[in-house]
Amino acid sequence: MKDILIKEVMIPVSNYVTIKENNTLYEVFQILEENKKDNTRHAHRDAIVVNGKGKFVGKVTMIDIFRVLEPNYKKLIKNYKDGTLTKEYVMKAVKDFNLWREPMYNLCQRGFGLMVSDVMHIPEAHEYVREEDSLEQALHKYVMDVHQPLIVKKEDEITGVLRFGDLFEMVRKAMLACPI
């Protein structure tokens, strides 16, 4: 993995779904749906968020959307201090915090008015990788539970996105091609 660079696997920003801070969550779903129709090979479920000047400011992932649609996750995360999620803890939290008890209609109503700026995740320093980094560094970050996808930089410019699924596909194909 040391000999493969991130820039060889990443998806360039120009090929990734881009949304604006002032889009609504509903518009994000529409944009992702259009991408799905146009791009069967690399359909995206996440998006890069840019400001009015086209500069990267964050990302919206499936996890971000689920967390904002179920506001009780804020209470759960606030009360979670340990670091290990056991099955018992998770099931107790679902019950204690009434997670996902609302009808879909209520979730739709809540999500319809949300702005991307309310949903997006602003990556922390450890969620960035450089184009010239090796895949082993990215894999380590994913295994150690980084918020997906990783954002790829060349100096101070955002140049791409490295998705966990694409990294897995690369490893899977390499394993299948190994002579046994």
Name the residue with higher pLDDT: 67 or 150. 150
pTM over 0.85? The answer is no
pLDDT exceeds cutoff 70 at 173: yes
How does residue 123 score in pLDDT terms, banded at 50, 70 and 90? Answer: very high
pLDDT on residue 40? 57
Q: What is the mean predicted confidence (pLDDT) over 120-137?
A: 92
Instruction: Identify the helix (H) or strand (E) that includes residue 162.
Output: strand 157-162
Q: What is the mean predicted confidence (pLDDT) over 102-123?
A: 86
pLDDT exceeds cutoff 90 at 174: no
pLDDT exceeds cutoff 90 at 85: no
Q: What is the mean predicted confidence (pLDDT) over 43-50?
A: 87
Closest by CA to 101, choosing from 69, 61, 77, is: 69
pLDDT on residue 156? 92
| CA dist., res. 136 & res. 177, Å (int) | 19
| pLDDT tens readout for residues 23-35 | 999 999 999 988 8
Name the residue with higher pLDDT: 128 or 145. 128
Closest by CA to 48, choosing from 140, 132, 127, 109, is: 127
Check if CATH label 1.20.1560.10 holds for domain 6-177: no
pLDDT exceeds cutoff 80 at 98: no
Mean pLDDT, the chain, whole residue set = 85
100 torsion bin: left (phi>0), alpha (psi -120 to 50), beta (else): left
